Structure 1
Amino acid sequence: MLKFLLIVNKQGHLRLSKFWCHDKTVNKTVLASDVIRNCLCRDEKQCSFLDYKDFKIIYRRYATLYFLIGADKDENELAVYEFIHNFVEVLNKYFKKVCELDVMYGLERVHLILDEMVSDGEAIEMNQSFALAPVQVLDAFGHRR
């Protein structure tokens, strides 16, 4: 089960965060800053999987953005790694080569796409066309990007 997704830039500035863990004892701000610090300090030749407290952290870098996912210890790392890639492909399809500014200024669209792909921490939609359908309907009715 996925617990959180963070999108950060190379400088460590958080651009998007989505949490699916409902534990009141988890301080999300401290958790996010620790995870970001641990991932950004790693060499690019190091593995993209690491253990952090009760989570497995799986991350990928695309241009200037890092996509970090925290998952349960029993989650398949390669499946999550592939999910990140699929999510980025969906964003690329929608934004025509997604960049940091697209995430910042199209935050509601990114959240909508993510909500189509993940429900309560479980990946439910991997088909790119189906994941984009609600956003395309909004765009068709004139809602601004």
Structure 2
Amino acid sequence: MFHFLLLLSRQGKTRLTKWYSSYTNKEKARFSREISNMVVSRAPKLCNFLEWKEYKIIFKRYASLYFVVCADRNDNELIILEAIHHYVEILDRYFGNVCELDLIFNFHKAYYILDELFIAGELQETSKKTVLRLIVQQDAQQENPSEGKVDL
């Protein structure tokens, strides 16, 4: 189970966060800062798995973004890396080679995709086509909001 997911820039700035376990705002800020420092300062040739507190940090860098997941110690790291890659592939298909600016200016879409994939820190949808179809449907509803309304 994921406890939280962070997207960080190479400079350590948080671009997206999703918390699946309850923490106070102070803890969230401290965790983000600690993990950001650990991940960004890590040499590229070192392992993508870190032990942190009673958790495991799994991260992967794609272009200028780090995708970081905090999971239980007994979770399989390779499955989590595959889940991260799955999310990145869907972002790539939707945005057409996703970059940091796509996530800054369209963060609501990135959150929507994340919410379609993961519920309560568990992978729920494995089909990329299904997720992309749902996102396109949501885009169509936003463009034509009157189509989804029922007259009473």
User: Could you list the runs of 4 or more consecutive aligned residues of structure 1 that deviate by over 6 angstroms after TM superposition?
Assistant: none
State the Cα distance separating 1:138 from its structure 2 match.
1.9
**1:122 corresponds to 2:122:** yes
- Per-residue displacement from partner, 1:6-38 (whole Å, max 9, x unpaired)? 001100111000000124597101001101100
Alpha-carbon distance between aligned partners in 1 of 2:18 and 2:103, rounded to the nearest angstrom? 13
Match of 1:29 in 2: 29
Alpha-carbon distance between aligned partners in 2 of 1:72 and 1:118, rounded to the nearest angstrom? 16
Match of 1:61 in 2: 61
Q: State the one-letter code of the partner of 2:87.
A: F
Alpha-carbon distance between aligned partners in 2 of 1:14 and 1:110, rounded to the nearest angstrom? 14
Match of 2:11 in 1: 11
Structure 1 segments unaligned to the other structure (5+ residues): none
Instruction: Give the number of equivalent residue pairs.
Output: 144
- Per-residue displacement from partner, 1:37-78 (whole Å, max 9, x unpaired)? 001111001000010112110000011011000001111100
Match of 2:149 in 1: none
Q: After superposition, where does 1:51-90 map in structure 2 within 5 Å?
A: 51-90=51-90
Change (3 A) 1:69 1:78: same
Match of 1:141 in 2: 141
Q: State the one-letter code of the partner of 2:120.
A: D
The structure carrying a bigger helix percent of its residues is 2
SS in 2 for 1:27: helix
Change (3 A) 1:26 1:133: farther
Change (3 A) 1:35 1:141: same
Alpha-carbon distance between aligned partners in 2 of 1:91 and 1:140, rounded to the nearest angstrom? 18
Structure 2 segments unaligned to the other structure (5+ residues): 145-152
SS in 2 for 1:141: helix
Alpha-carbon distance between aligned partners in 2 of 1:131 and 1:12, rounded to the nearest angstrom? 29
SS in 1 for 2:143: coil
Alpha-carbon distance between aligned partners in 1 of 2:25 and 2:90, rounded to the nearest angstrom? 33
Alpha-carbon distance between aligned partners in 2 of 1:7 and 1:75, rounded to the nearest angstrom? 20
Larger deviation: 47-56 or 130-139?
130-139
State the Cα distance separating 1:140 from its structure 2 match.
2.2
Alpha-carbon distance between aligned partners in 2 of 1:115 and 1:7, rounded to the nearest angstrom? 15
